[in-house]
Amino acid sequence: LYPSITEDQTKLFFCSNRENDHFDIYSIPLPEADSLHAFITANEPGEPVLNTVLSSDYNDKCPYIYEDIMVFTSDRDGGQGGFDLYYSLLEDGTWSAPVNFGPKINTEYDEYRPIFFSFFGYDFQNLMIFSSDRPGGQGGFDLYMVKTDGLILPTFK
């Protein structure tokens, strides 16, 4: 579920409950562009690898990669409640331990399906859109957009 490809297009990340009763984050290496068609049509993508740094004994879902940052949702211990949003930085080819965005973004309700991007308009801004069932919305899961400058250290490109 929820596939996302690294910026250098060498890995596909996704979440699955293939090994237990909760969702974890996995990756599959991708071939070079000239063999991608053969890779897809062979219907044998290779064996997914569990990412033990990003995954926990709880549900870790919806990985989304932008440049050298991954955002995802998890109901692991230590959060604000329900599903919270976390980020991890790619440093020297390894993902850092996940960091909770904290109460500026997360609530006691569920925050879900984050995407991250930069807006190159009048004022360069790093933004994240996500859904939440927190009170004050239109009902169910509503979309929210936040500036992430200053929330992620170190600030990425």
Contact (CB, 8 A) for 53 and 25: no
User: What's the pLDDT tens digit per position in 90-127?
Assistant: 999 999 999 999 999 999 999 999 998 887 765 667 88
Query: Helix (H, G, I), strand (E, B), or coil: what is residue 33?
Result: helix
In the predicted model, is pLDDT for residue 42 greater than 80?
A: no
Q: Which has more confidence, 59 or 139?
A: 59
Peptide bond before residue 135 is cis, with ω within 30 degrees of 0:
no
> Taking residues 131-147, what's their average pLDDT?
93
Beta strand pairing status for 69-74 and 84-91?
A: antiparallel
Contact (CB, 8 A) for 82 and 108: yes
Contact (CB, 8 A) for 76 and 56: yes
CATH annotation of 4-147: 2.115.10.20
Residue 121: what pLDDT?
63
Cβ neighbours of residue 107 closer than 8 Å, sequence gap 6 or more: 80, 81, 82, 132, 134
Q: How far is CA 16 from the centre of its chain?
A: 13
40: enclosing H helix or E strand:
helix 36-41
Confidence of residue 153 (pLDDT cuts 50, 70, 90): low
User: What's the pLDDT tens digit per position in 48-72?
Assistant: 999 999 999 999 999 999 989 999 9
